[in-house]
Structure 1
Amino acid sequence: RQFGISQTPIREALGRLISDGLVTKTHLLGYRVTPQWTRKQFQDLYEIRLLLEPAAARSAAERISPKEAVALTRLVADMHKAVENEKRVNYGRFALHDSELHNLIAQIGGNQLIHETMSRLHAHMHIFRLYFHNWVTQSAIHEHQAIVDAIVGHNPDEAERTMRFHIEESWNRLQKGF
């Protein structure tokens, strides 16, 4: 009422947040923010990422077009610029770039089911809610650069290997948050 918004768009927004796993609805009690993920939930998340993302990177290296190569290269360059001269990294901006990079790789890979599944996991949002520091950003950027170099270089084996390494290292960094 205060903002003059009808209930319909608010219900739709809350429905979207529920489907994204960021809000839960309890009958007769209302809505609340989803609790922080447990260690087991993160382990499950990383297990599925290790199954899907290296395959997506491999496919992306086999299928990438020149236009997609430019977009992927530009995105990783933007990640470098976002953090290179800042004493305090804007983690929200980095998280958006990170999510966009993983999404673009899955999209370029051409498997719609992998792309949709990764989109539904919202892995990056939960990861960055839990734990984030500057050294994590720098490590992730170098790993992303290696992945992009392999994909743009049409090297499927290296793309798969570097993506697997990145996810494993991401899990190792994340465990420090527990």
Structure 2
Amino acid sequence: MPRIRRTTEDVYDALRARILENEIEPGERVNIDALARDLGVSQTPVREAVRQLEGDNLIVKVPGKGYRTTPLLDLERLRQLFEFRLLVDVWAVEVVTTNRLGNPARVIGQEIDRFELSIAGKTDIRRELVLHDTRFHGYILRALSNEVVREAYEQTHSHLHTFRLYAADIDGSITIAEHRRIWAAVESCDGSAAAAAMHEHLTAAFYRFAAAFDEAPGTLRGPATHRLY
């Protein structure tokens, strides 16, 4: 294959999409030479992209064995991640839902509208959904103006790892409805309602993702075994 002029960012986006969509399976060896040939680029941008993905915790370096994609979250790790999000996201949305210029209602409303337009007519929206979810919650966290909280939250890479489990919301309609309920409360400057809507959204999202474990033999089954709090 002839080499194509692609930046490290292009290669990063391509590899990230393959990992999120499980085209490169969890725990699979990452062959830099093979990826370079497949993408039609030199090894340099692939190596740089792999280092970025290592920072995203989507790829890990195994001493003496090169790189592998990280395994999927197990059920206990998923529960811990969502308990963390229930602490941070619910608190954050209540704090920023005030009658002031920092209220993020306008920007999260625009984000929902952009997402709906971007998925019109598409059958596979996983990539768009993970980007939308990351931006939606990110705008709320940025409105806090608290870099310590934002950096700690981003280091979990929660959106990347949960969306690798399976297509929990295949057409995005559930996420859109839940995000719109949060947006409506934020726009109304109703902090209690915004916190309740966020709590409902995250709890429901946890159970959607946890359903992936119900389909695997030998794993826990049923909502009662997935108790979140």
TM-score, normalized by length of structure 2? 0.68
Partner residue in 1 for 2:75: 39
2:108 match: 72
Give secondary structure in 1 for the equivalent of 2:198.
helix
Q: 1:39 to 1:102 in 2, by over 3 A?
A: same
**What amino acid maps onto 2:91 in structure 1?**
A
Please say if 1:97 is aligned against 2:132.
Answer: yes
Q: What is the DSSP-based 3-state SS (H/G/I as helix, E as strand, rest coil) of the residue aligned with 2:68? A: strand
Cα drift, residue 10 of structure 1 = 5.0
Shift of the 63–33 alpha-carbon distance from structure 1 to 2, 3 Å rule, reads farther
Give the equivalent residue in structure 1 for 2:175.
140
Query: Which residue in 2 is equivalent to 1:173?
Result: 208
Deviations, residues 52-99 of structure 1 (Å, cap 9, x unaligned):
10011112212752784322211011223334x436242211221111
Asked whether 1:157 is paired with 2:192, we answer yes
Which residues of structure 1 form unaligned runs of 5+? none
Over aligned residue pairs, what C-alpha RMSD do you find? 2.4
Asked if the contact 1:56/1:114 (under 8 Å) is kept, the reply is no
**Partner letter of residue 28 of structure 1?**
G
Please give the alpha-carbon distance, in whole angstroms, between the structure 1 residues aligned to 2:128 and 2:91: 27
- Offset from partner CA, 1:125-150 (integer Å, 9 cap, x none): 11111121556721111110011111
User: Cα distance 1:80–1:64, how it changes in 2: closer, same or farther (>3 A)?
Assistant: farther
Q: Which has the higher contact order (CA 8 A, sep 6+)?
A: 1
Secondary structure of the structure 2 residue equivalent to 1:28:
coil
Of 163-172 and 70-79, deviating more is 70-79
Select which of 32, 42, 56 maps to 1:20: 56
Pair 123,136 (structure 1): closer, same or farther in 2 beyond 3 Å: farther
Question: Match of 1:62, SS?
Answer: coil
Structure 2 residue runs of 5 or longer lacking an equivalent are: 1-35, 214-229
Check the 8 A contact 2:96/2:104 in 1, yes or no: no
Residues of 1 paired with 2:72 and 2:115: CA distance?
26
SS of residue paired to 1:121: coil
CA–CA distance in 1 between the matches of 2:188 and 2:65? 54
Which structure's residues are more often helix, by fraction? 1
Give the count of matched residue pairs. 175
Larger-gyration structure (1/2): 2
Q: In structure 2, what is the equivalent of residue 113 of structure 1?
A: 148
Residue in structure 1 matched with residue 163 of structure 2 by the alignment: 128
